[in-house]
Amino acid sequence: MPISRRVLLGSAALASASLVRPVLAQANAWPARPIRVVLGFAPGGVGDFTARLVMPRLSEALGQPIVIDNRPSAGGIIAAEAVARSAPDGYTLLLLTTTNSTAASLYRSLSYDVTRDFAPIGRMTAFDHVLLTAANSPYRSLQEVFAAARAAPGSINIGSISVGNAQHLGAELLRRMADVDLTVVPYRSTPDLVNATATGDVHIASEILAPVLSQIQGGRLRALAMTSATRFPLLPEVPTAVEAGLPDYVVGSWNGLAGPARTPPAVVERINREMVRVLADGDVRARLNELGVQPAASSPEEFAAFLRSEGARWGRVIEAANIPKQ
């Protein structure tokens, strides 16, 4: 009986090993061809620049070309659908952004679920936001803006771009948390918003720091507060919104990588490991910091939890602001 049992156990072990070997071989062979990273927005923005800075380094680490595929659409829906429907083999990835985490609360129906239909690989970077006014504006602090709004309810507006994106939701959250009557005015693009702010048509603007940093440094716009947890190193004189008297107001944008659901865990771990190494590189970090972009690498598990929390957080803001679903 002991011998028979030993034989059976040995046979089971061999069978198990035969099942494991193909999986390991497949993981070790990956990647064997170029990888495609799909972006849900057009070339030229800070998210696109970030991807084009990081992906070549990641390509070197993985030993295969990485092709960036821009597929712009509202909410990044077209890009997300394409990746969700692709083979879960690690060769088609999505650059997830803040907008992806808010889509479920903004659209009546989606053909995918961000938390169900994707395999989170890791958060990549975070984009600081800033609250701005014109260089010749009478307002030199957030508290002065709030005081003017309380003195004449509805007289002060706050500009942003694209209803439902992080800048717009940040403006809605500011209005709620400060408990002041600000009129939120969305613009089609950052240049439109910057021009309206510089001329005084917009009293205060909510925008990502990267595309307006040069306008602040050049003296066309005045930064009232950073909405990040800490001050931005290139603008050390600008307080955070928390320091400016708005406790707990921390708003920013982010991006990260994901594959289709059921992407092999070994592939996910490999991409994550190399991405973390790339983002720790001093040259990469310096070039990102020049734009107001912070490396924010995370594990797949941390990114999954972050996606859930971001969706819930902005869902509450969207509901409270009565933003209609599209």
Render pLDDT for 263-275 as a digit per residue (tens, 0 to 9).
Answer: 999 999 999 999 9
CA–CA distances in Å: residue 70 to residues 61, 81, 127, 264: 22, 13, 20, 25
pLDDT of residue 28: 65
CATH T-level topology, domain 128-226? D-Maltodextrin-Binding Protein; domain 2 (3.40.190)
pTM equals 0.83
Q: Does the pLDDT value for residue 24 go beyond 70?
A: no
Give the confidence band of 90 by pLDDT, cuts at 50, 70, 90: very high
Query: Is residue 96 classed as helix, strand or coil in its secondary structure?
Result: strand
CATH T-level topology, domain 34-126+253-320? D-Maltodextrin-Binding Protein; domain 2 (3.40.190)
Render pLDDT for 92-146 as a digit per residue (tens, 0 to 9).
Answer: 999 999 989 888 888 888 889 999 999 999 999 999 999 999 999 999 999 999 9
- CA 202, 205, 208, 211 torsion-angle sign: positive
Q: Are strands 118-134 and 204-208 parallel, antiparallel or unpaired?
A: antiparallel
- Indicate the helix (H) or strand (E) that contains 131: strand 118-134
Q: Report domain extents, the chain.
A: 34-126+253-320, 128-226
Q: Do 34-126+253-320 and 128-226 fold alike per CATH?
A: yes
